[in-house]
Amino acid sequence: MSEERKNSVTQQAFWAMVQRDLLAQWRDKKEFIFRVGMLPLVLIVVYGYVLPAIGLLPETFPTQMFAGMVGMSILITGIHGTAIPFTMDFNNMHEIEDRLQAPVSRNVVAYAKMLVGIIEAFIGGLIVLPISLIFMGSRLQLGMTAGEIPLLLLVLVLIALASATLGLLVGTVVKPPQIAAMFPGFLMPVVFSGAIFFSWYALDPVPVFQKLVLLNPLVYANEALRYVMTPQIRSMPLGYSLLGLVISSVLMGRWGFKRFHAMVEGDK
């Protein structure tokens, strides 16, 4: 094949692979909404509505956790959206084999899966908005102006990228029998140490924990969102949190692609 032909086939194959995954997910949309919506719904109802209403948490708590809910939803949905199909396609169903046999670099298969993870991640972030408005609307105090929307978009893109690269890594490491262990073993620690309910600076009294959570990409995601959406709460300087997201994406992406190549063992 000529180089032009290869490029044209690569483009066509990439979009076909993305469309295939979106179609498969669309056919499973009830599962998707349940998977993406349930965790933020439960957390928002309990921590954003019930606990402040009965006086166990302060009235300002919904504002404190709002950015964290958005960040968590994007990150977790993106990881799920990339990792689970990868694991199942590769190990159980072998469905991915037809795509790996396409006359394109096998990286195209991974890029397509990651783009789908990113798209799903954004949908995950959007789902949080109506839930938040319904249950915490009266207590929410956002301090964002329209001029900050481009900055917000940049942050959202970086978070989605971090989630897709993390999803690639998780998807190529975890085997189907281990999926059940992923929730308590991976997602729970990520969620509860991810600066959702607390801002990073609030951890000053527990310095060891404060250092440990820096390993969690969700911390950078939530601190960056907090900086943009609720600036009245003290958060990590934006430069640090953006850098954290970039470093996480690069490290996880490189490691993930290495694992992916080991799995397909074909060409570049």
Partner 1 sequence: MSDLILQVKDLQKTFHLKSGHVVKAVKGISFSVERGEIFGFLGPNGAGKSTSISMLTTQLKPDGGEILLDGDSVLQDPITARSRIGVVAQHNNLDRSLTARENLLFHARYFGMDPVEAEKKADEYLEKFGLTQWQDDYVRGFSGGMAQRLKIARAMMHTPEILFLDEPTTGLDPNYREILWENMLELNRKGTTIFLTTHYMEEPERFCHNIAIVNQGELKAMGTADQLKAMIPSRNILSLKLDKVDDRLVDAAAKLPGVASAKVQNGVLQLYLEGKPDFDGVIRWTEDKQRTLQNISLSTRTLDDVFVYLTGKAMNSAN
Query: Which residue's CB is nearer to partner 1, number 59 or number 97?
Result: 97
Residues that bind partner 1 (CB under 8 A): 1, 5-6, 8-9, 12-13, 15-17, 20, 23-24, 27-28, 93-95, 97-105, 264-267
Nearest-approach distance from CB 13 to partner 1, in angstroms: 5
Query: Which residue's CB is nearer to partner 1, number 98 or number 204?
Result: 98
The angle subtended at Cα 179 by Cα 218 and Cα 70, nearest 5°, is 25
Q: How far apart are the first and last CA of the chain?
A: 17
Nearest-approach distance from CB 98 to partner 1, in angstroms: 6
Query: Which residue's CB is nearer to partner 1, number 19 or number 178?
Result: 19
Nearest-approach distance from CB 93 to partner 1, in angstroms: 6
Nearest-approach distance from CB 84 to partner 1, in angstroms: 13
Q: What are the structure tokens assigned to 115, written together?
A: 């783009």
Query: Which residue's CB is nearer to partner 1, number 59 or number 95?
Result: 95
Nearest-approach distance from CB 121 to partner 1, in angstroms: 20
Query: Which residue's CB is nearer to partner 1, number 18 or number 187?
Result: 18
